[in-house]
Amino acid sequence: MIHSFLDVQNISKTFHPGRDVQVAALVNVTLTFNRGEFVVIHGPSGSGKTTLLNVMGGLDSPTSGEVILDNEKITGVEEKHLSRLRRDHIGFVFQAYNLIPVLTAKENIEYVMQLQGRSRSECEQRSREVAEKLAIAELLGKLPGEMSGGQQQRVAVARAVASRPKLILADEPTANLDSKSATGLMDMMQALNEDEGITIIFSSHDPLVIGKAKHSILLKDGEVAADEFPG
């Protein structure tokens, strides 16, 4: 069977917050993504957006169903194999930035590449290249605490992109940004998508993000309510 770049097949996820309480976060979600897409998953709070992103990135296991990334199954595999797959093929951008506070922007950007065992010269060349593309070259020597929210988010995007992953998953990346910073970030991510061919999937309820997407998925109560390709 030939798979597309990313296949989400009949994914359900049920949480058990109390002994006799069940919450269905995702219900039989089936989606297909092609390589190089620029996708938004949107819907009201509690619709399952973040849970779906976490399952697609191997950060959370579904209750049932499968996720297949580039013909490789990422559900139900050993944690050691999954961590390697995440490290080498998936970049994450979190709403809370998740930068390492004691590392400079440069060190944060190079962190994943160093885990991959890349040479010092390659790490330095790539971090400079990505920093210039994201207009943060002047921040490379700064610690996260010395940057604004918008600057930290751009460093987080640079870190996600630097190792040239196949897929970037971005959870509400504009949520803590003012409109100017959010527009700048989205323009940069769109350019990265087009220039480097990286598949980028956002979860968001920001109209700016939704308006930029080439593939739009609406979730309601954990189910796919719409799967569209706006003009």
Pull the structure tokens for residue 46. Answer: 């509690």
How much is the average pLDDT of 12-17?
Answer: 88
Residue type for position 110: E
What percent of the chain is modeled with pLDDT above 90? 60
Residue 19 reports pLDDT greater than 70: yes
The answer as to whether 139 is a domain residue is yes
Q: CATH number, domain at 141?
A: 3.40.50.300
pLDDT at 191: 87
Q: Count up the domains in the chain and report the number.
A: 1
Question: If pLDDT is split at 50, 70 and 90, which confidence band does 1 have?
Answer: very low
The answer as to whether 112 is a domain residue is yes
Residue 64 reports pLDDT greater than 50: yes
pLDDT at 227: 96
Q: Where are the beta strands (DSSP E) in the chain?
A: 6-18, 21-33, 38-42, 64-69, 72-73, 90-93, 167-171, 199-203, 215-220, 223-228
The answer as to whether 224 is a domain residue is yes
Tens digits of residue pLDDT in 208-230: 999 999 999 999 999 999 999 98
The answer as to whether 89 is a domain residue is yes
The answer as to whether 1 is a domain residue is no
Residue 163 contacts by C-beta under 8 Å, 6 or more apart in sequence? 87, 88, 91, 112, 113, 116, 118
pLDDT at 175: 83
Tens digits of residue pLDDT in 138-164: 999 999 999 998 899 889 989 998 988
Structural domain harbouring 154: 6-228
pLDDT greater at residue 204 or residue 231? 204
How much is the average pLDDT of 75-87?
Answer: 90
The answer as to whether 15 is a domain residue is yes
The answer as to whether 168 is a domain residue is yes
The answer as to whether 205 is a domain residue is yes
